[in-house]
Structure 1
Amino acid sequence: MIRLSRIMASAAIALSLGGCALLGGGAKTPAWLLTLTPAAAAPPSINRTASVGESVTIDVPVIPEALRTTRVPVQSGPIAIAYVKDLTWVDRPDKLFQDLVAETVTRTTNRVVLDPRQSNLDPGLTVTGNLSRFGFDSQENAVLVRYDATVSANGGSAVRTRRFEAREPADGTAASVGPALNSAANRVAAEVAQWIGGV
C-alpha cells in the first residue's frame, strides 16, 4: 500500500511538471514578433481641444475565436483553419488593430482621440466594431482584413455602420503575410479615419 502511494505520488509530480512545460515552461520562444505600424505620417506635435461631444473613442473590436490568439490564421475553405508557421503577434490582433485605428485617426484628422478608459471625460463619438477577418486566405493567395464599424453619437441617439475591407497579395509565408497584413490593416484604418473625420 505504501509502495502504491509512492508510485501515485511520483506520477502526480511527473504530470505536474509535464503540464508546466506544456503551459509555457518548455515552450520555444518565437524568433521575432509581429506588430502593426501606422503608415500615416506623424505630425511634429499635437495640441487639440474638443468641445463636448466632439472627441472620439475607439473601442477594442469584437473578434471570432480563431483570432483570439497571437498567431495568424490561414483560411483554407469555408470551415478549415490553420496558422501561419513562424509568425506570432506581439499582442492579440484586436488590441493591435484598435491601437492602429486610434493612431491613424489622431494623425490624419483633427479629432481628439480618447482611450476607452478616458471615455467618461466626454461622451463624443464611440467607434465599436467587429474584426471578422484578419489573416491569410489560401484560396485567394492574399491576406484579408474585414472590419464592420459602428459609430454612435450623442449617447446612442445617432448610429452609423459601414464595412471596410482590404486585400493584399501574399504567398502564405511569414515573410510575405506579415507586411501584407500591415499594409491591408493600414488601408482599412485610413478609410475608417476618413469616415470618422466626416461624421
Structure 2
Amino acid sequence: MKFPRSAMTRLVKSSAIGAAALAVTGCISLGSEPPESLLTLSPSVSAEAGSGAGASTADASTAISILPLEAPAKLDALRVPVAVSATELAYLQDAFWVEKPARLFRRLLGETLRARGGTLVLDNDDTPLLAAQSLRGTLMEMGYDASSSSAIVQFDAIRTQEDGSVTSRRFEARETGVLPEPGSVGPALNRAANTVADEVAVWVTGAS
C-alpha cells in the first residue's frame, strides 16, 4: 500500500517530533524528593505581644538597624557544612535549612535585641527610617565540626554608634557531644545561635 506524499511527510515529521520529545524527556530532571523536614532558628527569648518601641524619621536615636549579614561561600547555601578536617569540607546528609543561615541569624538577632533591649530594632530592608546605630558583620561559622563532635556558631560583629564610632567583636558558642545527624545538629546549632545572639544583645544594649 502506497501513502500519498503529503501523508508520508506528516508521518516522518511526527516520528521525528516524537523521538525528539523522548530525547528531551530523558534529559530533564525534576529534582530529588523534598526533605522530610527543614531546619530553622527559633529565639529562646521573644518580645511580649503588645510590647514595642517607636521612633520617628526625625529622631531615631533609640533605634538600631541590623544590616544584611555577610557569610562565606560554605554558608551561602541551604546545607549544614561539616568540617571533616582542616582542609576538607562536606555537608551533613539530609540536613537542609528553610532559609540561608545568614538571613535566619539576622532575624534571630533582631528578635533577641527586641526582647533584651526594649528598643526599636529595624531588620527589614524596606524600612525608610535611618537608625542612629547599626549592627552588621559576618556569620563565619554555623555548622558541625567532625573532629570534636561540636556544633559551632561564630559571628564577627561590627557596631556603628550615633557618634560615628565603630567597634567590632567576635562571638562564638559551641555545643559539644553532638551526633552527626540532623536531629542532633539542628537543635544544637539553635542553642549555640541563641547564645551568640544573647551575647551580642548584651554587648550592644548593655542589658543583662
Please give the TM-score of this superposition, normalised by the length of structure 2: 0.82
**Hey, what's the Cα distance between the residues in 1 that align with 2:132 and 2:22?**
56
Residues 26-105 of structure 1 mapped to structure 2, 5 A cutoff: 26-50=31-55, 51-105=59-113
Q: CA deviation at 1:26?
A: 3.1
Q: CA deviation at 1:47?
A: 3.1
2:7 corresponds in structure 1 to: none
Aligned to 1:172, what secondary structure does the other structure show? coil
Q: Structure 2 unaligned segments of length 5 or more: list them.
A: 1-11
Residue identity (%): 35
**Hey, what's the Cα distance between the residues in 1 that align with 2:36 and 2:194?**
25
Task: From the superposition, tell whether residues 91 and 138 of structure 1 become closer, same or farther in structure 2 (CA, over 3 Å).
Answer: same
Amino acid at match of 2:169: R
Q: Structure 1 unaligned segments of length 5 or more: list them.
A: none
Amino acid at match of 1:161: S
Aligned to 1:90, what secondary structure does the other structure show? coil
Indicate yes or no: 2:199 matched with 1:191: yes
**Hey, what's the Cα distance between the residues in 2 that align with 1:38 and 1:31?**
23
Task: From the superposition, tell whether residues 30 and 105 of structure 1 become closer, same or farther in structure 2 (CA, over 3 Å).
Answer: same
Amino acid at match of 2:156: D
Q: Which of 117, 124, 134 does residue 125 from structure 2 map onto?
A: 117
Count of aligned residue pairs for this structure pair? 191
CA contact (8 A) 1:53 1:153 kept: no
Aligned to 2:125, what secondary structure does the other structure show? helix
Q: CA deviation at 1:70?
A: 0.6
Amino acid at match of 1:39: S
Amino acid at match of 1:166: A
RMSD (Å), alpha carbons: 2.5
**Hey, what's the Cα distance between the residues in 1 that align with 2:66 and 2:83?**
27
Residues 136-175 of structure 1 mapped to structure 2, 5 A cutoff: 136-154=144-162, 157-169=164-176, 170-175=178-183
Larger Rg: 2
